[in-house]
Amino acid sequence: MPDTTNKTYPFAFAALLIGSCSLAFGPWLVRLAGVGPVAAGFWRLALALPFLFLIARVIGPPVHWPKGALVILTAFAGFFFAADLAAWHTGIHMTKLGNATLFGNISSFAFAAWGLWLARRLPSALQSAALLLAAVGAALLMGGSAELSARHLRGDLFALAAGLLYTGYLIAVERGRGQLDALPLLFLASAFGAVMLLPLSLALGERLIPGDWTPVLLLALGSQVLGQGLLVYAIGALPPLVVGLALLTQPAISALIGWVAYRETLSPLDWLGAAAIALALVLVRLPDRGLREAEERPT
């Protein structure tokens, strides 16, 4: 099996941003899916499988499938991802979209903290400034749409749990990308996740078959094939701190979706929050020895 640690990945940062923007459409499509929240997660993964397999066969070098311990690692990635989708999709239906986005994005900071732990160092001044700007930007973006109340508590807890589970998925992917190319890893994680979500959806008595297949197909192609495909590709080349902060572009895109689809007004604070996240991404991409140390972590 090839070792991918020394490969170069051109356009990794651009792929990360495009993938994150694609993932931001997920909550909207989940609400349009017309099936149960867990069923929406199942279709997202299951419908993506033939496309991922075909792309893996057509582009790049011959596919090398994992064996032994690496299969177990991809199974763990699939478990965390399936649990994340089940929890987050449930939360999306039980709380405000702003709340679900806010609490779900705890993974951005948790994964960034994982990268700093791997580097065995505290964040540098530049990294600290980027993290602070990103946190302020996310708070400003979600401040108008999020609403903490007892009525939304269960949904908020589901979204928060989803963010922590997604961190587990990102860590498993980050470890797997040292030995496996992006598409085989994503295909197997998606397959494992789909196998886990289908019986759960049936046990919950959810509606499984959508009346209109368009939203679930768009969810599979946009969020899983394009969004996760580019994200997993980028994780092989970029430090967790950069990946974590880049994922915070999703609240900004969610705000724009609300503006276009639902005519929700974007306040000056929304624009300021988006600008703060953009500036954080610029800062975290500036030369910094700490980021290099994180990239040179042992595998």
Write out the two tokens for 186.
């994503």
Tokens of 8: 């170069």
Out of 168-172, 201-205, 240-244, 257-261, pick the least confident.
Answer: 257-261
pLDDT in tens, 14-42: 998 899 889 888 888 888 999 999 999 99
Structure tokens at 71: 């299969």
Distance CA(51)–CA(243), nearest Å, equals 25
Q: Give Cα separations from 271 to 17, 131, 136, 266, 284 (angstroms).
A: 18, 18, 12, 7, 20
Would 7 be classed as within a structural domain? no
Residue 131 lies in a domain: yes
Residues 120 and 114: beta-carbon distance below 8 Å:
no
Residue 266: per-residue pLDDT: 63
Sign of the dihedral through C-alpha 213, 218, 223, 225: positive
Average pLDDT score over the chain: 81
Cα first-last separation, the chain: 15
Residue 1 falls inside a structural domain: no
The answer to the question of residue 3 being in a domain is no
* Within a domain: 204: yes
152 or 158, higher pLDDT: 158
DSSP string, 221-241: IIIIIIIIHHHHHHHTTS-HH
**3-class DSSP state of 247:** coil
Asked if residue 167 belongs to a domain, the reply is yes
- How many domains would you assign to the chain? 1
Query: Nearest CA to 19 among 275, 235, 216?
Result: 235
pLDDT tens figures, 78-99: 999 999 999 988 888 787 766 6
Tokens coding 191: 């397959």
User: Does residue 3 carry a pLDDT above 70?
Assistant: no
Average pLDDT on 51-69 reads 77
Residue 241 predicted with pLDDT over 60: yes
Range of the domain at 40: 12-295
Tell me, yes or no, whether 60 lies in a domain: yes
Per-residue confidence (pLDDT) for residue 126, from 0 to 100? 77
- What pLDDT, on a 0 to 100 scale, did the predictor assign at position 162? 92
- % of residues, the chain, pLDDT over 70: 79
Residue 176 or 216, more confident: 216
